[in-house]
Structure 1
């Protein structure tokens, strides 16, 4: 993976709408000096991209500092993890990262256009030393130690419906392998939309930025980007959530029915006990 800390070569601006808020939002990514970390700025207040600042949420990943919150950071964080970006300033005009096309595609493409820059400092990695498990009824997520210096994600989804059904994929995190999942879009069952709307969410959702599944078909005219796009998107989300560890993780994650909530609760369980992990330079 990456030995040195990394930032971007020059600033990038993204504009779009929030998936849940429906509000227009602009986002500016700027280079940052070594040993800074990934820092979000909103109204001159900063929030570090860290599990310590994250709130449990089912439909997105949210970080908070006092009364300032920033939501739906997972696709951007997943992209930064795939590129090994460790230091970045992120200025946002609203409360939610723009959903763009519902995947990591536009984030990755635009960052690759400006390029990344290695910095004169080593990256640190988190090596898992002991199995950590979090269970919630029939759902679970765990992480196990492995000998390799890599993150492996074994993800199973089971929607018990007519279209998505059960999907399983084992993914090894790397820049090349990320290209096999980064186009996967967020998705929703049509029958769940009423509940989502009743919570005041999903206001910016459309067929341009989400897959909508209606019984035995999808409503998107272009079809799926991958036959197993649903589980690939869940893995994309998981990568972004796990990067709230503030460093890349070496270990094997296994999850059944996982999502944003379980991803964060796993991180909390890991960092609850220092015997579960240790830090390493590459």
Structure 2
């Protein structure tokens, strides 16, 4: 397989599940797409104006999920886990057919999405991939929370820190090289919440489909999920998963070094908006070199989860 040319899936693949916030059952099918078409969401429950592009400028909500919307008000929410899976497997082009406005949460991680995509197979084109190379240091902050992006030679490094008063979550930090490290723990890490926040979240009409089957729930010094954690840093690892998925709303893989403290969907989206305000901050390159120190796609993922 050539890792430097654009990819789509080889065969159509479908899955169904409950949506985390609406609580509705949703059906999704991924179908192959032509080179240079990108990721396209298609609301098959609507007859017109039903294409939604997961671009950072189309993000209209970042509270507890990432929601994108087209000019006609048609939206798709909770896209971040699927976007992370597509990024990790190097899928440049695919049509996501969906019969409602929220991507199913499945098990709360990217694990099932990745297995489904791998089962569909990967189709390689002759078109070179494109990457975004960050040229200047850019920071966005919101009180004590901040996210910073700066140039990197040929890697995407994410250094993420969590800071919770809860003794189970506490202060967690992890740093990964997205294209080189074994990211199995990242992609397998589930979304989480504090037990005391659930009532307020549900009062706001969210998390109607939430359960211990698709989220980690922490109450004081106890994890309510009977199976416990999947890895020691599952909380911060899930935040890195979200970050990767949100970064893919840039349209391409990114070469950069990112540092984030107490971040989430809002900070990542605001950072992208700030970066792309000025063309001097970045360049978009076609990758045609035959020999690179790594592949810009994480081959460990294909080996470890397949």
2:222 to 200, 217, 233: 217
Whole-angstrom CA distance in 2 between matches of 1:266 and 1:2: 28
Whole-angstrom CA distance in 1 between matches of 2:286 and 2:3: 10
> Is contact 2:159–2:175 with CA below 8 Å preserved after alignment?
yes
Q: CA deviation at 1:2?
A: 3.7
Matched, 1:77 2:83: yes
Question: 1:69-111, CA deviations, whole angstroms, 9 ceiling, x for partnerless residues?
Answer: 1100000000000011010001100110000000111111111
User: How does 1:90-101 map onto structure 2 within 5 Å?
Assistant: 90-101=96-107
SS of the equivalent of 2:274 reads: helix
> How many residues matched?
281
User: How does 1:44-83 map onto structure 2 within 5 Å?
Assistant: 44=47, 45-65=50-70, 66-83=72-89
- Name the counterpart of 2:15: 14
Matched, 1:186 2:191: yes
| Runs of 5+ unmatched residues, structure 2 | 288-306
Q: State the TM-score, normalized to the length of structure 1.
A: 0.97
- Name the counterpart of 1:277: 282
Whole-angstrom CA distance in 1 between matches of 2:167 and 2:183: 28
SS of the equivalent of 1:100 reads: coil
User: How does 1:128-277 map onto structure 2 within 5 Å?
Assistant: 128-147=134-153, 149-174=154-179, 177-277=182-282
Q: CA deviation at 1:176?
A: 5.6
> Is contact 2:16–2:104 with CA below 8 Å preserved after alignment?
yes
- Name the counterpart of 2:303: none
SS of the equivalent of 1:278 reads: strand
> Is contact 1:56–1:264 with CA below 8 Å preserved after alignment?
no
> Is contact 1:18–1:204 with CA below 8 Å preserved after alignment?
yes
Question: 1:250-277, CA deviations, whole angstroms, 9 ceiling, x for partnerless residues?
Answer: 0011000000111100100110111100
> Is contact 2:185–2:234 with CA below 8 Å preserved after alignment?
no
Question: 1:119-161, CA deviations, whole angstroms, 9 ceiling, x for partnerless residues?
Answer: 11011000000001000000000101011x2211000000121
Question: 1:233-257, CA deviations, whole angstroms, 9 ceiling, x for partnerless residues?
Answer: 0000000000000000000110000
More displaced 10-residue stretch of structure 1: 80-89 or 44-53: 44-53
Q: CA deviation at 1:58?
A: 2.1
Q: CA deviation at 1:3?
A: 1.0
- Name the counterpart of 1:30: 31
SS of the equivalent of 1:112 reads: helix
Question: 1:153-194, CA deviations, whole angstroms, 9 ceiling, x for partnerless residues?
Answer: 000000121210000000111276232311100000011111
Whole-angstrom CA distance in 1 between matches of 2:188 and 2:122: 21
Matched, 1:105 2:97: no
| Runs of 5+ unmatched residues, structure 1 | none
Q: State the TM-score, normalized to the length of structure 2.
A: 0.90
Between structures 1 and 2, the one with greater strand share: 1
